[in-house]
Structure 1
Amino acid sequence: MELQEKLETIANRYGLNVQLLKLAEECSEYSSAVHKYRVIINCRDENDGNARKYFRKLEKTAAEGCRNKLADVLVMARQIEYLMKDDKAFNDEMIRLMNVTADKKLKQIEGEPK
């Protein structure tokens, strides 16, 4: 079974509302993993000797945790994109809001030095 077929099977089983809640959970877990990674990097850089070795060991595991949690977020986001197609009003609103967000970012980029 290809990835898209797997995602659609899961999405169809649980539906949009459940998967929206699950996305929030996965985003929170990803955020926590990134913060943990940053703390480990900072501690690694601020310590010497055995402490530095300890934090170097943790760094690899923490980086892997970030990648795993990001994969979870992307799985949920793709399921929601798939499910949105069946809810025209929600889909249209999300596209409108994404355009607003993209326009704001493009305007911000225009104001940044090159």
Structure 2
Amino acid sequence: MNLQEKIALIADYYGLNIQICKLGEEGAELGAVIAKKYVLIQSGELAQKYDYPAAQREFGHVDFSISEELADVLLVARQIEYLMLRDEKLAEYIERIMNAKAARQIERIKEGRKQ
């Protein structure tokens, strides 16, 4: 069974409402790991100044954790995508929103803004 077949099987079993809740849970876990990395980055100068080996090792662990949590988020997001995009009107609406958001971000990039 390939990944897309697994995604469809899981999505069909749990349904849209449960998987939307699951995405919130997984997103929160990813956010927590990213926040931890942000703290480590902000304290990195201090860690390097005093040469804390444990702090340096932590960066690798956090990157691994981000990868794990991102995989969870993407897996559930793809299930939601599979369920929602079966509705042609909803699929077109989502595509329109994504295009508009991407266009806005490209304008920010052209203006030299990072956010």
TM-score category, normalised to shorter length = 0.7 to 0.9
Structure 1: 4+ residue segments shifted above 2 A: 40-45, 85-93, 106-113
| Identity across the alignment (%) | 35
Tell me the TM-score normalized by structure 1: 0.82
Could you tell me how far 1:107 is from its partner in structure 2? 2.5
Which residue of structure 1 aligns with residue 82 of structure 2?
Answer: 82
Which residue of structure 2 aligns with residue 7 of structure 1?
Answer: 7
Which residue of structure 2 aligns with residue 25 of structure 1?
Answer: 25
Which residue of structure 2 aligns with residue 104 of structure 1?
Answer: 104
C-alpha change, 1:61 and 1:112, in structure 2 (3 Å) is: closer
Could you tell me how far 1:104 is from its partner in structure 2? 1.3
Could you tell me how far 1:78 is from its partner in structure 2? 1.2
RMSD between superposed Cα atoms in Å: 2.0
Could you tell me how far 1:90 is from its partner in structure 2? 3.0
CA distance in 2, matches of 1:90, 1:103: 20
Which residue of structure 2 aligns with residue 66 of structure 1?
Answer: 66
Greater fraction helix:
1
CA distance in 1, matches of 2:87, 2:20: 13
CA distance in 1, matches of 2:29, 2:21: 13
Unpaired runs of at least 5, structure 2 = none
Alpha-carbon contact 1:23-1:77 (below 8 Å) kept:
yes
Could you tell me how far 1:70 is from its partner in structure 2? 0.8
CA distance in 2, matches of 1:107, 1:44: 32
Could you tell me how far 1:79 is from its partner in structure 2? 1.1
Moved more, 13-22 or 62-71: 13-22
The residue identity in structure 2 corresponding to 1:103 is A
Could you tell me how far 1:92 is from its partner in structure 2? 2.9
Unpaired runs of at least 5, structure 1 = none
Could you tell me how far 1:35 is from its partner in structure 2? 1.1
CA distance in 1, matches of 2:106, 2:37: 30
The residue matched to 1:8 in structure 2 has which SS? helix
